[in-house]
């Protein structure tokens, strides 16, 4: 089956939905999402959107905070773009129906780690859920948007599928994607002159993550296989405060809780963060996560505590109703009277598919927005609540650029061959999928986590090469199924993270290695670039 439209969007988070709503005004949109349309990292976001809307704040302060958090690797032009456009794009969300928390008629602004001012617009502690609710309602009501749930993208359609040698003599073009209709077990061709990757992150590559099960790095893996340039995959952000022993995905205790006044303590009650940073518990995430990791290894403890007991109970319940209710009802923990056991967990990928300021990748007609992209905003460490901001600003610029081309090049779509399953068979050895997935996740957690070393990374590299070879062989011999597609992508993304981590011979931001413990601006004040065309 073949589906044609002016715009193909892969993913249903804030980037994909906001792009779809704007693009639908000028042409038909196909939006495919691998699970239900509400499944995305956006939906899990608790904190909110950082934007300069207070008279006590300035663009310069927000830019400075972002650059400092990024430890020298932020692209200043990208940072200035998202910060200066932040207030306007925030108004876009309000016009779409997002109901942010207000006090006295004005936005209630919170503060999180690394921010010098209160600037986080939020919907209590379920900001992502509220944003998804509003955008999905607008999408459902728009006649020009077709949403295909339970459709998992397999590969981008490029010259490779037309039999053109790789790499082709000219630029690579994207004409859409093959996707598995999971419910009907059929592969469809989704064709469009403009394709937008909004597939989110890759937290499931790690054993412990705050990301939902869908976060398997599909967009980065597909783009890499197609020949796009990938950058900075070594910078994986571990959120310092996920609820200890809360399952998978781990339940997140928002950064805003520390911004509200909560402090981190060891098991015996010592407030320890002042030893690591003068900002204490409000230091940026890389510093806090590494400090917790150090304390756990030094003391042999399994978790630290986040303490809110000194704060007013009624204010905690009002500001964090979701966290309070979940902890009390599901985990039998009263956060107003008991300290919260927390540990770091994989949370966000600062690297991804390299784009320019218009969201364009190095493949013609392919855009990337949101966590799947490496725009240069986050550098070596993302400032809290800059992710949703980046997603909506860059999706806006990607739309403006794509709108100039979609109609003009629609007739240029070549004849695309249907998905070819000849020579494959239905395998019964699906136990291999679960086993390989667990091995990848455990290996990445043990060897490519918060603290790394050459020895650990090399061990991970060798084992991943072997596992990836087995998976690729299995993939080529069998019919595609959901678990196998995701496993293939996880293995690809894990190898990219390890490759970039081995390449960077210094410690910076989210990448800390015991073999090169110091920052080295002379040699490493630059992005880590990788492409399958020159790997």
Backbone angles phi, psi at 219, to 5 degrees: -65, -45
The C-alpha atoms of residue 431 and residue 443 are separated, in whole angstroms, by 18
Q: 388 to each of 119, 356, 385, how far by Cα in Å?
A: 13, 18, 6
The C-alpha atoms of residue 154 and residue 156 are separated, in whole angstroms, by 7
Containing H/E element for 2? strand 2-4
Contact 376, 229 (CB under 8 A): no
Contact 126, 60 (CB under 8 A): no
Reference 457, options 496, 510, 489; nearest CA is 496
Residue 341 C-alpha from the chain's centroid: 25
**Secondary structure (3-state) at 188:** strand
21: its two tokens: 């709503």
DSSP letter for each residue of 399-431: HHHHHTTHHHHGGGPPPPPPP--TT-B--S-TH
Is position 285 annotated as part of the catalytic site?
yes
285, 488, 495, 508: which is the annotated catalytic residue? 285
Cα three-residue angle 91-94-99, rounded to 5 degrees: 140
Cα three-residue angle 513-514-515, rounded to 5 degrees: 90
99: its two tokens: 């109901």
Catalytic positions, written as ranges: 285
């Amino acid at each position: 089956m073949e589906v044609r439209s002016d715009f193909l969007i892969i993913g249903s988070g804030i980037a994909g939905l906001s792009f779809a709503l704007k693009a639908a005004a000028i042409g038909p949109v196909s939006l495919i999402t691998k699970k239900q349309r509400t499944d995305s990292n956006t939906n899990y976001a608790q904190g909110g959107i950082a934007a300069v809307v207070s008279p006590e704040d300035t663009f310069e302060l927000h830019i400075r905070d972002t650059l400092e958090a990024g430890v020298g690797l932020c692209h200043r032009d990208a940072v200035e773009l998202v910060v200066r456009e932040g207030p306007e794009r925030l108004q876009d969300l309000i016009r779409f129906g997002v109901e942010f928390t207000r006090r006295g008629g004005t936005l209630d602004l919170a503060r999180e780690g690394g921010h010098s001012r209160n600037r986080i617009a939020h919907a209590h502690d379920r900001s992502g859920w509220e944003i998804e609710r509003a955008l999905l309602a607008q999408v459902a009501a728009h006649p020009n948007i077709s949403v295909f749930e339970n459709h998992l993208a397999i590969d981008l359609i490029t010259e490779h599928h037309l039999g053109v040698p790789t790499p082709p003599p000219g630029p690579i073009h994207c004409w859409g994607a093959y996707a598995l209709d999971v419910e009907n077990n059929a592969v469809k061709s989704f064709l469009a002159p403009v394709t937008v990757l909004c597939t989110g992150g890759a937290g499931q590559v790690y054993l412990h993550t705050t990301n939902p099960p869908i976060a398997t790095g599909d967009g980065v893996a597909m783009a890499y296989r197609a020949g796009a340039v990938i950058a900075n995959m070594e910078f994986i952000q571990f959120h310092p405060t996920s609820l200890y022993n809360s399952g998978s995905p781990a339940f997140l205790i928002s950064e805003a809780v520390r911004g509200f006044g909560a402090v981190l303590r060891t098991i015996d009650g010592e407030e320890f963060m002042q030893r690591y940073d003068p900002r204490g518990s409000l230091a940026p995430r890389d510093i806090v996560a590494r400090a917790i990791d150090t304390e756990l290894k030094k003391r042999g403890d399994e978790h630290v505590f986040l303490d809110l007991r000194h704060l007013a109970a009624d204010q905690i319940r009002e500001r964090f109703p979701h966290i309070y209710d979940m902890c009390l009802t599901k985990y039998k923990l009263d956060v107003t009277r008991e300290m919260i056991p927390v540990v770091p967990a994989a949370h966000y990928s600062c690297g991804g598919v390299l784009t320019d300021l218009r969201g364009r990748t190095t493949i013609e007609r392919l855009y990337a927005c949101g966590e799947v992209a490496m725009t240069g905003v986050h550098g070596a460490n993302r400032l809290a609540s800059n992710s949703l901001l980046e997603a909506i600003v860059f999706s806006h610029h990607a739309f403006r650029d794509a709108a100039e081309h979609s109609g003009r090049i629609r007739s240029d779509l070549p004849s695309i061959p249907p998905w070819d399953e000849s020579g494959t068979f239905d395998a019964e050895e699906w136990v291999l999928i679960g086993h390989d997935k667990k091995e990848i996740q455990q290996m990445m957690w043990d060897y490519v986590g918060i603290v790394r070393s050459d020895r650990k990374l090399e061990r991970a590299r060798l084992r991943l090469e072997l596992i990836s070879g087995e998976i690729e062989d299995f993939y080529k011999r069998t019919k595609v199924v959901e678990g196998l597609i995701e496993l293939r992508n996880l293995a690809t993304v894990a190898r990219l993270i390890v490759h970039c981590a081995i390449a960077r011979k210094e410690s910076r931001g989210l990448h800390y290695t015991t073999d090169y413990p110091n920052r080295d601006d002379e040699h490493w004040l630059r992005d880590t670039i990788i492409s399958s065309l020159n790997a």
